[in-house]
Amino acid sequence: MKKIIGLVGTNSDHSTNRMLLQFIQKHFSNQAQIEVVEIKDLPLFNKPENKQLPVSVQELAKKIEDADGVIISTPEYDHSVPASLINALNWLSYGIFPFVDKPVMTTGASYGTLGSSRAQMHLRQILDAPELKARVMPSSEFLLSHSLQAFNEDAGLIDFEQIEKLEGLFEDFQIFMDITNQLKSAHAINKKEAESFSWENL
């Protein structure tokens, strides 16, 4: 059974993105071992010169490193991902590189109609950065709109079509993880390039 990290892309205490990941965790419990992980306790990124990372960052990086894949669920603030998610990714690409060649699936929930579509587009750009180099599953974003009304009292998704789409995407993600985890020939070089990359030398 595959190990997947479900990364809550917000520091909000009450988030429908957290609810979405918890639904995914429960709904696919017979297909994968999914751990929902928070970023809200990470300190503000301050680029420590000695690259001594907080214990919470090291622990999160280890979970991602050990996982077969990562599902990131992000809300949308001002057409972008939340500052807290950017903060987490800044830490996870500073002296440590757990996302290099890591299979990633993006999801998102929002109160409005668009379901974090622009935030997910921005997230893909971030994950393609030289220090992250994640492998994001193409054409696969899951957009949960009007998320305050999307769940029932048992925290389950109400719309059967949404569940059906999510099931299809999750099945594709299982295949994507299998394929991606076989593409390891350049992994050592990719990681070395991420470690040695510097914007100052461009």
- Ordered by where they begin, the domains of the chain are 2-201 (3.40.50.360)
How many C-beta neighbours within 10 Å does residue 125 have? 10
Q: Is the pLDDT of residue 94 over 60?
A: yes
For the whole prediction, is pTM greater than 0.75? Answer: yes
> Per residue in 68-91, pLDDT tens?
999 999 998 888 899 999 999 999
Across the range 47-71, mean pLDDT stands at 94
